[in-house]
């Protein structure tokens, strides 16, 4: 039954509500008290609606780091922190979390996803979403469904049999919907040839089987038609203003192509979202509990996400010893991956180098590798032409001779969706110009780079040095997301200023993007300096990993390996100092073929703004690394069932052919991973005994394990239960529980296995008759015991 308010709106007023007003808001309906619903991107933080670097936000751990905690309480707290910040800024909904699965290990967006396991993804994603909604802010989970490859993501189609679709890729979304999320975003890609936004079968599962009563939103510019997606169940076109919905929906109703009842249902769902989030008059915000303090929460979450995979006793570091901090990510860490949803954190975020110095005192530092790519054209030595810190960015409207806006900015990476604040809609912008005076610190060859959504020219001191054509219109969004650039080498002299101007002719599109960068001369002896520092130090902390562009939206990776110069650095440093701790700062499973050569390996992911302080605390032993792997790490990329798969001539990718994937696929093939799902160490030891499994009356089961901390420090153990059904050749995660114990403490730990853990699809849900094996242990490969139960 629809809200009576729907009846107070005429056809055109209702149709108007089916499309956004801007890139971040819906239309309003003052006649019924509905204000614009403000929807912002996530999930690493609250993205500026105008993507302005002057809008600062808290920077959360990436999805992989959240999943690495294996702790719903941590995920919920992070959601609460995000929700509280959203409330303070008048935001009603956040596109978060991302419940897709990083099935290949090479997806460009792996960092934003949670786990290769659907259950772990769903449980942690639900906790995050409900934490967000506890503040009265909608969680709009994304991207429904099978949106885990970035290659041709807007045109590719995932080929999926119904068993795989139901049991694996829909599972996290099912958990989220049944838990009560208020919004869903459909994906760009198709499933079995049908675009997700038009997939009536999948959206019927969501609505009719799972009982979803929330709003279904299109991914940005994903719609290509009007009737098909609207009839399938996609309620809201984003961003605005309308292209396919809005007035076209009213026309379709008048033409008899869309029943007015379908329009009423879409409007009803938007009103419900407004009521839940305070955008509808008389609809109080549903605030169920206060949010925790942000700074300690982000610090604790980073600690809880760090996964210690190897340790020969070097960690925690002993006091009073000399320490070298080496590696490109020590002073220039990567806090987030590259998406449209980039966060600009508040000032004062400590780098790992800063924090380790503060905790340990004097340390020797050497980056060990050259800077791999151009950085922003900002910072010391860069001013506007009239001497102000920053860059001058000017915008011209079409047909006008003088700039409509001249703005001083502290960034050189810009994206405007739909409109440029203070200027107008993006189709009305004719030209954008970036001007700066650059005074280099070093003499030598500097590389200047430019990129954007239009045709570009670069001049230095008035000399025309570089042209770059506009990207192909059909790949504009991908090119913008990838921040593709062209570059030119320029000889500059230290202390001598030069004028740098980037001009861009804009297309009449909905997106304008412009970027400029600079790479200064690089030292040729970085590796030798690092080896010298490692030789003289007692202990080494070597921080390696990704740059922000190494894993990014709209581009997949070809390998899980670190760059060659980083691998060479690891091996060279470990050869001269056996007490080398390698910290991997990457939001994806990284090839660890060098792991046996070093004393310790700590996966730090992209842990948000708490990275530095959390790392120092863990290295010193003030805190224990609390994480476990949310993904498996094979010995080689070729071991993965998905390895070598590519789109066919019809842009289809056969998921079914590579299932089971991840740790399940490795078990099915009899291939041992280097580290299994759930692997991880702490700073103490545990004894596990008296394993048992008992069925419960609701069709599930409960496993019990007696755990004793037999070490000398407090610590955390994560008990995991995997289920293998009759005749199956692989196991799947069914439940997990973390326990923290003091030295000598013993506790009976129970792991709940829901009834869903034993069900299978085909056709319909059922529990196969026969022997089900419950495997209990501390990772997918560290199994203590198998217990059988009959169904």
pLDDT value of residue 639: 97
Mean pLDDT of the chain: 95
pLDDT (tens digit per residue) in 475-534 = 666 666 667 889 999 999 999 999 999 999 998 888 899 999 999 999 889 999 999 999
Q: What does DSSP assign to residue 40?
A: E
- How many angstroms separate the CA atoms of 380 and 607, rounded? 27
Name the segment(s) of the chain with CATH classification 3.40.50.1700: 295-339+350-367+528-631
Distance between first and last Cα of the chain: 40
503 DSSP β-pair partners: 433, 457
Among the ranges given (104-118, 172-186, 506-520, 679-693), the one the predictor scored with the smallest mean pLDDT: 506-520
Q: Please count the other Cβ atoms lying within 10 Å of the Cβ belonging to residue 781.
A: 18
Is 295-339+350-367+528-631 CATH 3.30.70.141? Answer: no
pLDDT value of residue 693: 97
Radius of gyration of the chain (CA): 27
Q: To 10 degrees, the CA torsion angle through 252, 253, 259, 261?
A: 130
pLDDT (tens digit per residue) in 578-608 = 999 999 999 999 999 999 999 999 999 999 9
The mean pLDDT value for 354-359 works out to 97
Sequence-separated (6 or more) residues with CB below 8 Å from residue 577: 324, 534, 535, 537, 539, 540
pLDDT value of residue 215: 98
pLDDT value of residue 50: 82
The mean pLDDT value for 769-776 works out to 97
> What is the architecture, at CATH level 2, of domain 676-790?
Sandwich (2.60)
pLDDT value of residue 715: 97
- How many angstroms separate the CA atoms of 595 and 70, rounded? 23
Show the 3-state SS of 390-435. Answer: CEEEEEEECCCCCCCEEEEECCCEEEEECEECCCEEHHHEEEEEEE
219 assigned to active site: yes
pLDDT value of residue 680: 98
The mean pLDDT value for 345-349 works out to 90
> What is the architecture, at CATH level 2, of domain 4-277?
Alpha-Beta Barrel (3.20)
Active-site residue among 219, 235, 556, 637?
219
Contacts 24+ apart (CB under 8 A), 567-572: 567/594, 568/527, 569/326, 569/327, 569/368, 569/369, 569/527, 569/530, 569/542, 569/544, 570/542, 570/544, 570/594, 570/597, 570/598, 571/597, 572/527, 572/530, 572/531
pLDDT band at 49 (very low <50, low <70, confident <90, very high): confident
DSSP-assigned states of every residue in 328-391: HHHHS---S-BSSS---BPTTPPPHHHHHHHHH---EEE--S---S-EES-STTEE-TTS-BSE
The mean pLDDT value for 433-443 works out to 96
Q: Which CATH class is domain 375-519?
A: mainly beta
CA dist list (Å): 293 to 58, 89, 97, 726: 12, 17, 21, 48
pLDDT (tens digit per residue) in 137-173 = 999 999 999 999 988 888 999 999 999 999 999 999 9
- How many angstroms separate the CA atoms of 518 and 59, rounded? 25
Judged against a pLDDT cut of 80, whether residue 287 lies above it is answered with: no
Among the ranges given (53-62, 288-297, 455-464, 666-675), the one the predictor scored with the smallest mean pLDDT: 288-297
Among the ranges given (215-229, 251-265, 329-343, 424-438), the one the predictor scored with the smallest mean pLDDT: 329-343
The mean pLDDT value for 285-310 works out to 91
Name the segment(s) of the chain with CATH classification 2.60.120.260: 375-519
The mean pLDDT value for 276-304 works out to 88
Judged against a pLDDT cut of 80, whether residue 711 lies above it is answered with: yes
The mean pLDDT value for 68-92 works out to 97
């Amino acid at each position: 039954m629809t809200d009576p308010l729907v009846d107070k709106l005429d056809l055109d007023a209702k149709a108007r509500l089916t499309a956004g007003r801007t890139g971040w808001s819906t239309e309003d309906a003052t006649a019924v008290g509905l204000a614009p619903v403000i929807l912002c991107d996530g999930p690493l933080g609250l993205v500026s609606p105008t993507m302005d670097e002057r809008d600062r936000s808290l920077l959360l751990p990436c999805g992989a780091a959240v999943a690495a905690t294996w702790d719903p309480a941590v995920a919920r707290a992070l959601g609460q922190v995000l929700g509280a910040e959203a409330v303070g800024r008048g935001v009603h909904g956040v596109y978060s979390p991302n419940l897709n699965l990083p099935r290949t290990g090479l997806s460009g967006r792996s960092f934003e996803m949670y786990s290769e396991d659907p259950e772990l993804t769903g449980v942690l994603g639900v906790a995050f979403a409900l934490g967000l909604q506890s503040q009265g802010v909608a969680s709009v989970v994304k991207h429904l469904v099978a949106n885990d490859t970035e290659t041709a993501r807007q045109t590719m189609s995932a080929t999926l049999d119904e068993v795989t679709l139901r049991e694996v890729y829909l599972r996290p979304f099912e958990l989220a919907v049944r838990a009560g999320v208020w919004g869903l975003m459909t994906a760009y890609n198709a499933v079995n040839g049908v675009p997700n936004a038009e997939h009536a079968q999948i959206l019927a599962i969501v609505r009719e089987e799972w009982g979803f009563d929330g709003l279904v939103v299109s991914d940005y510019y994903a719609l290509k038609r009007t009737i098909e997606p609207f009839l399938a169940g996609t309620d809201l076109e984003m961003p605005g203003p309308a292209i396919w919905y809005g007035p076209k929906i009213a026309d379709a109703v008048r033409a008899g192509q869309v029943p007015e009842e379908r329009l009423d249902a879409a409007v009803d769902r938007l009103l419900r979202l407004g009521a839940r989030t305070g955008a509808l008059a008389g609809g109080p915000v549903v605030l169920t509990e206060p949010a925790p303090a942000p700074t300690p929460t982000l610090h604790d979450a980073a600690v809880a996400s760090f996964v210690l995979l190897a340790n020969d006793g070097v960690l925690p570091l002993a006091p009073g010893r000399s320490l070298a901090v080496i590696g490109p990510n020590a002073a220039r860490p990567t806090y987030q991956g590259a998406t449209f949803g980039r966060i600009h954190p508040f000032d004062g975020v400590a780098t790992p180098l800063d924090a380790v110095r503060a905790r340990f005192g004097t340390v020797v530092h050497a980056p060990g590798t050259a800077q791999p790519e151009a950085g922003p054209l900002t910072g010391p030595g860069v001013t506007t032409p009239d001497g102000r810190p920053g860059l001058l960015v000017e915008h011209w409207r079409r047909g006008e001779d003088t700039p409509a806006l001249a703005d001083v900015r502290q960034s050189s990476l810009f994206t405007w969706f739909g409109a440029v604040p203070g200027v107008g809609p993006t189709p009305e912008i004719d030209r954008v110009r970036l001007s700066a005076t650059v005074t280099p610190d070093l003499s030598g060859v500097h590389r200047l780079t430019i990129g954007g959504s239009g045709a570009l020219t670069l001049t230095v001191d008035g000399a025309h040095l570089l042209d770059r054509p506009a990207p192909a219109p059909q790949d504009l969004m991908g090119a913008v997301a990838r921040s593709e650039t062209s570059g030119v080498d320029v000889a500059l002299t230290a202390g001598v200023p030069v004028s740098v101007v980037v001009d861009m002719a804009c297309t009449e599109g909905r997106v304008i993007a412009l970027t400029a960068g600079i790479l200064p001369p690089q030292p040729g002896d970085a590796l030798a300096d690092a080896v010298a520092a490692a030789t003289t130090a007692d202990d080494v902390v070597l921080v390696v990993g990704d740059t922000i562009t190494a894993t990014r939206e709209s581009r997949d990776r070809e390998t899980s390996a670190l760059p060659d110069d980083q691998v060479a650095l690891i091996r060279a440093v470990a050869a001269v100092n056996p007490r080398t701790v390698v910290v991997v700062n990457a939001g994806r499973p990284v090839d660890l073929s060098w792991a046996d050569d070093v004393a310790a390996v700590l996966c730090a992911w992209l842990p948000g703004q708490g990275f530095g302080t959390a790392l120092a605390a863990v290295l010193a032993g003030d805190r224990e690394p609390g994480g476990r792997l949310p993904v498996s790490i094979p010995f080689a990329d070729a071991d993965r069932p998905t390895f070598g798969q590519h789109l066919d001539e019809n842009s289809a990718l056969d998921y079914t052919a590579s299932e089971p994937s991840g740790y399940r696929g490795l078990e099915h093939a009899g291939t041992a991973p280097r580290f299994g799902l759930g692997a991880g160490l702490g700073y103490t030891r545990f004894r596990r005994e008296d394993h048992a499994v008992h069925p419960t009356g609701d069709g599930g089961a409960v496993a019990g394990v007696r755990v004793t901390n037999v070490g000398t420090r407090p610590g955390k153990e994560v008990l995991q239960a995997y289920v293998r059904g009759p005749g199956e050749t692989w196991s799947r995660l069914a439940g997990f529980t973390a326990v923290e114990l003091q030295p000598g403490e013993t506790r009976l730990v129970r792991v709940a296995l829901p009834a869903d853990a034993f069900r299978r699809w085909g056709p319909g849900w059922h529990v196969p008759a026969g022997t089900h094996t419950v495997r209990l242990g501390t990772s997918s490969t560290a199994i203590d015991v198998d217990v059988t139960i009959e169904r």
